Amino acid sequence: MAAPHPESWIRVTPEGLYCEPGDFHIDPARPVARAIISHGHADHARPGHDAVLATPETLAIMAARLGEGGAGRRPMPLGYRQPLVQNGVRVTLVPAGHVLGSAQVVLEWQGSRIVVSGDYKRQPDPTCAPFEPVACDVFVTEATFALPVFRHPPAGQEVRRLLDSVALFPGRAHLVGCYALGKCQRLIALLRAAGWERPIHLHGAQAAMCALYARFGVALGELRPVPRPERRGEGVLAGEIVLAPPSAAATPWARRLAEPVTALASGWMRVRQRARARGVELPLVLSDHADWDDLLHTIAETAAPEVWVTHGREEALIHALAARGVRGRALHLIGREEEEEAPPPEAPEAEAPAAMGLA
């Protein structure tokens, strides 16, 4: 008997992707009884589920970000490559290379295999396990950067541009906007790899995730909170690097910094208009998502004859896949954001917690 097509046992419900025989959802947008969570970003990991299966790192991130019970009433840690069978459906988590703990969810049922990749990237990232391609019948992919204009440069090159700017403007602070989970820690690790040994200063909103990464053994070097100026009108941290949420540059908090060079680390910075709309002085093209070339070659590596696209620029990806003989289907999942873009609410004058012994 031929294996069932994944269409017959995985479907899109208002809550999100649902595995019928296993009776669980993957990255559901609303509270459900059983959820598998690919990674800790807010548009994938939501609060209020009953049972939550995820990597230990992702569960820790959910608990830290969503508060008490954020990782569900019954958190169920599952390490990478340790299969678990749920109602006859074999579930395996495989590294996705997106952020710490991020996983592709591999589901097998009656000889049919689907891989729900969550978000992923192929560029090296010293802060998380690298993506591993898994052969499958259907590959479920994001399409955040699915236009051929998005080809991310090597991350080291962008970090060198940042350090070059720090050297050119020693009298100014460099304020780098970056997403608090993943991008921030990757940027710190890349700066360390490029030889930046000075303390790196954090906006209060970045501190918790850095501390969590450190607990999981990711070395980030000396991190410090951003001090207040001693005298009114003075700027602090000239010549230093400060990491903050992307929105912080526009808040009164940023006024304490010495004539800041505002940088933003995001894949969207590839396009000038995007950079200009954000009023960025130093756009850094640094992304935790696969770029156009990586989307296509990853799909080729999975050898999947069919690809489902969750969110992003699905029409371009499906068009390109058709030219390669791969069937593409848009899932139109709701609740997914261009997370590198979504403006977080205006940060209050968040102060870093006093005890940040992360060295």
Partner 1 sequence: MSLPAFAELLERLLFSPGRNAKLALLRRWFATQPDPERGLGLAALAGELSFSTARPALVRDLVATRVDPVLLAWSHDYVGDFAETVALIWPEPPERPNRPPPALSEVVEALELAPRAGVPALLEGWLDVLEPGGRLALIKLVTGGLRVGASGRLARQALAEWSGQPIEELEEVWHGLAPPYRPLFAWLEGQGPRPDPRDAPVFRSPMLAQPLEEAEAAALDPAAFRAEWKWDGIRVQAAAGPGGRRLWSRSGEDISPAFPEILEAMDFHAVLDGELLVVREGVVAPFADLQQRLNRKLVSARMLRDFPVALRLYDMLFEAGEDLRPLPFDTRRARLEAWFARTHPARMDLSPQLAFASVPQLRALREGARAAGIEGLMLKRADAPYLAGRPKGLWWKWKRAPLTVDAVLMYAQRGHGRRSSSYSDYTFGLWRADGELVPVGKAYSGYTDRELVWLDRWIRAHTTARFGPVREVEKALVLEVAFDAAQFSSRHKSGVALRFPRIARLRPDKPAAEADRLETLLALVEH
Q: Which residues bind partner 1 (CB under 8 A)?
A: 147-151, 153, 161, 165, 168-169, 249-255, 259-262, 270-273, 275-277, 279-283, 313, 315-316, 319-320, 323
Least distance between partner 1 and beta carbon 260 (Å): 8
Q: Which is nearer to partner 1, 91 or 286 (CB)?
A: 286
Q: Pick from 258, 271, 256, 279: which is nearest to 343 by CA? A: 279
Q: How many CB atoms lie within 10 A of CB 339?
A: 21
Q: Which is nearer to partner 1, 149 or 193 (CB)?
A: 149
Q: Which residues of 47-82 are buried (b: 16+ CB within 10 A; e: fewer)?
A: bebebbbbbebbbbbbbbbbeeebbbeebebbebee
Q: Which is nearer to partner 1, 73 or 255 (CB)?
A: 255
> From the centroid of its chain, how far is CA 54?
15
Q: Pick from 37, 95, 41, 54: which is nearest to 209 by CA? A: 41
Q: Which is nearer to partner 1, 223 or 282 (CB)?
A: 282
Least distance between partner 1 and beta carbon 209 (Å): 24
**Whole-angstrom distance, CA of residue 344 vs CA of residue 219:** 27
Least distance between partner 1 and beta carbon 153 (Å): 7
Least distance between partner 1 and beta carbon 250 (Å): 6
Residue written as tokens 């807010």? 42
Least distance between partner 1 and beta carbon 158 (Å): 11
Residue written as tokens 């208002």? 14
Least distance between partner 1 and beta carbon 46 (Å): 25
Q: Which is nearer to partner 1, 14 or 272 (CB)?
A: 272
Q: What is the DSSP string of 286-336?
A: --SS--HHHHHHHHHHHT-SEEEEEEESHHHHHHHHHHTT-EEEE---TT-
Least distance between partner 1 and beta carbon 263 (Å): 10
Q: Which is nearer to partner 1, 29 or 330 (CB)?
A: 330
Q: Identify the three-state secondary structure at position 141.
A: strand
Q: Which is nearer to partner 1, 138 or 318 (CB)?
A: 318
Amino acid, single-letter form, for residue 152: H
